[in-house]
Amino acid sequence: MPKKKDEAAGAKKVKSMPTCDWRHPKQGTVSGFNTNKIYRHKGGCRWSGVGTERYKLQDGGWSSIARNVLIGKSGESATFHLRYFEIAPKGFSSREKHRHVHVVICIRGKGRILIGDRSHTIKHLDTVYLAPNTIHQFSNPHDEPFGFFCIVNAKRDKPKLVK
């Protein structure tokens, strides 16, 4: 039980009550990093405070695809990154493989995913798990944008292009 202020000087201090609120040990040490954030959806699969980037820094093997990093670019301590990719009509991602896994959730339109040598259509809220070292490629043969969330490990290997 906590001591009252008017109790005699020299009385033992009472430890604070335990709490179920967890705080990151480095919280608050770097301004703006690892803090709670809400990215408001603005419509059209765009979020406030989240910029649209090139799919990859180097050209080649892909066309008409954009990337938005929602979680993983602002110093979060999450062990995963959440990205949103959008492929314009007739666009496609690179054909690649890597050691890390992907979880993909279609949230806009529909598209195709090549897994190994088999092609599959995915549509709204279809969810795909891509195991390590699986050759894969996303494409949009349709007339409307194809958008999906992609969840990957924060620490991951660089994809290897496959011909």
Whether the pLDDT of residue 82 is over 60: the answer is yes
> Domain segments of the chain: what residues?
41-161
pTM (2 d.p.): 0.77
Residues that are catalytic = 150
41-161: CATH architecture: Sandwich (2.60)
Q: Which of 48-57, 81-90, 128-137 has the lowest mean pLDDT?
A: 48-57
Element spanning 150, H or E: strand 146-153
pLDDT level of residue 123 (50, 70, 90 thresholds): very high
- Which positions ≥6 away from 1 have C-beta within 8 Å? 14
